[in-house]
Amino acid sequence: MSELLEKLSKVVSAGGLISGDALTERDFPGANLPIALVRPKSTEEVAQILAICHEMDQPVVPHGGLTGLVDATQSNQHELALSLERMNAIEDIDVQSRTMTVQAGVPLQTVQEKADEAGMLFPLDLGARGTATIGGNVSTNAGGNRVIRYGMMRDQVLGMEVVLADGTIISSMNKILKNNTGYDLKQLFIGSEGTLGVVTRLVLRMRPLPVSQEMALLAIDDFTKVTEFLNHIDSALGGTLSAYEVLWQDYYQLVTKPPAEGRAPLPDNYKYYVLLEALGGSITADQERFVAALTEALEQELIADAVIAQNQGERDDLWAIRDDVGQVAQNAPIFAFDISVSLNHMESYVEELKASLTERWPDHSCMIFGHLGDGNLHIIVGNGDSSIEAKKAIDETVYAGLPARGGSVSAEHGIGLQKKEYLSWSRNSDEINLMKVLKQSLDPKDILNPGKIFA
């Protein structure tokens, strides 16, 4: 142990290695302390650290902002934690090529703000934006609120620098959108949860900064109309639809009544509530088109009621209702899920799930909301029992309806430790075997985030 720490101390600068009692001053996922926490300041330092660990067969758990929800950054007393928090520089903003070059430890919100200052948009957005790092977003292939228009994290990455398990640096800091020269290697590491390599630097794709932002909250009384209205509004807005969030009635009631700070802009007696956002290039024209599209939907009885935000404060208030997820703690103990299912199967899945939960736990709570425009639902279930046995029973109940419908047990949070038992419910054996071949090829000693993803 002392040999490992001695070698690492020679690689990183002052304050770059934390061990012993000093570890107790840090928060670690699962409250399990690692051997040490090493904090490099450059790709070269990461490479030297991994080369040492590879030589000594030392397991390493990469850390981003520690906002993940599947225990993918949890470590134990035999593992070394590697945090990129000191690699937090914005290296370049190139408005002409619409790219931003960053180190992996930069918080997502900083990337958003720097893009905005440059008159551009970095579209990835999620609730943990102030803490989540851009490298962590890559590691989990984060999704968030605007996937329906801009895609997930992999759609925002043009170039990447990554360090392999043995310390080899693969630098492919591509700044062009089209590059069909062989394998697109960066895609191997996006969504791999730190099991194939440690991402250190990125070339991000920026988009033009929208001029207009239209938002509305809509009430709908039938799920078929939820999907019909999605098709209507997406077509009517001509490509400017950027968010289509749906709140089931129970969740809407929870986040619009005390102790929640939000108040109901619409009556709470409808089955579904749609939070709609459109980003465009003309304030007047986009507003007219937005209102016309909603008016037509009302006339066709696709929607039952609507409230349109008139200013930024009202837009913020509508988003705050959607994002007030903390209110689910009122139903504690709870278990949270992040699943995907195609829209044509979503209603039957939810009905089956609720029936199964009611049959087994008559007094359960089940809150459902999510990025319905891209098929992603967040489901939060409580049955009054926080035991491991209860979690397993609820896991199996929530996931049971997905395989037959081609759904996924993880839409945007990854697998980590929590979902690895259920990976085979969404991926077939040939897919999983190929994943393991890639893992063995790139990390033959299994030192990068061992024990994650695969059971």
* CA–CA gap between residue 427 and residue 27 (Å, rounded): 33
Class for domain 332-410, per CATH?
Answer: alpha beta
- Quote the tokens at residue 195: 């099991």
- Enumerate the β-bridge partners of residue 162: 170, 199
Mind listing the pLDDT tens digit for each residue in 316-330? 999 999 999 999 999
* CA–CA gap between residue 359 and residue 352 (Å, rounded): 11
Mind listing the pLDDT tens digit for each residue in 285-307? 999 999 999 999 999 999 999 99
Predicted structure pTM score: 0.94
Mind listing the pLDDT tens digit for each residue in 332-386? 999 999 999 999 999 999 999 999 999 999 999 999 999 999 999 999 999 999 9
Domains 212-325 and 332-410 share a fold: yes
CATH classification code of 90-208: 3.30.465.10
pLDDT at 455: 86
- Enumerate the β-bridge partners of residue 204: 100, 157
Class for domain 212-325, per CATH?
Answer: alpha beta
Residue with tokens 């939820």: 226
- What topology is assigned to 2-83 in CATH? 3.30.43
Domain boundaries, the chain: 2-83, 90-208, 212-325, 332-410
Per-residue pLDDT of the chain (455 residues; tens, 9 = 90+): 689 999 999 999 889 999 999 999 888 877 789 999 999 999 999 999 999 999 999 999 999 999 999 999 999 999 999 999 999 999 999 999 999 999 999 999 999 999 999 999 999 999 899 999 999 999 999 999 999 999 999 999 999 999 999 999 999 999 999 999 999 999 999 999 999 999 999 999 999 999 999 999 999 999 999 999 999 999 999 999 999 999 999 999 999 999 999 999 999 999 999 999 999 999 999 999 999 999 999 999 999 999 999 999 999 999 999 999 999 999 999 999 999 999 999 999 999 999 999 999 999 999 999 999 999 999 999 999 999 999 999 999 999 999 999 999 999 999 999 999 999 999 999 999 999 999 999 999 999 999 999 98
Judged by phi (left if over 0) then psi (alpha if -120 to 50, else beta), residue 262 lies in beta
